Amino acid sequence: MDKLCEFLREKGVSPSIQRLKILRYLKDSENHPTALMIHHEISRDIPTLSKTTIYNTMNLFSEKGIVSELCVGEGEVRYDLNLYPHAHFRCAECGKIYDVKIDPELFKIKKINGNQVVHTAVYFTGKCRECFGKDKENL
């Protein structure tokens, strides 16, 4: 927990029990959670934790560059602790989101056909290997 406290302080965020639990959850999971998913998991340890606290913390983490916000369909916002340039694959069947390595040079593009690029997000949608495998088993 000391390293997480130090990390938050370096980012200009005052560490609290709630913020540390949220950061630990994000670090230990790779599921690109929504705020509601985070609340569901962390409220098991902190029953008094409000959804508002989760939303406020995720907004703060986003502002401070600790997480990035993903909008990969379905109108929901997911959070990603991995800030290295990468793409995402979202399974249209089970909803899982996976990191996908792509050429990081793509994220350095600042102009396209005279248009200024301010944000680059790449995501793919399809059926993950687990769901695809289930379909093959049912044939």
pLDDT in tens, 70-113: 887 667 899 999 988 999 999 999 888 999 999 989 999 999 99
* DSSP calls for 39-106: HHHHTTT-TT--HHHHHHHHHHHHHTTSSEEEE-STT-EEEES--SS-EEEEETTT--EEEE---GGG
Tokens 């997000």 sit on residue:
121
How do residues 42-72 score in pLDDT, each as one tens digit? 999 999 999 999 999 999 999 999 999 988 7
The full set of domains in the chain, from first to last, is 2-78 (1.10.10.10), 84-137 (3.30.1490.190)
Rg over alpha carbons for the chain, rounded to the nearest Å, is 17
Helix axis angle for 17-28 and 51-63, nearest 10°, is 70
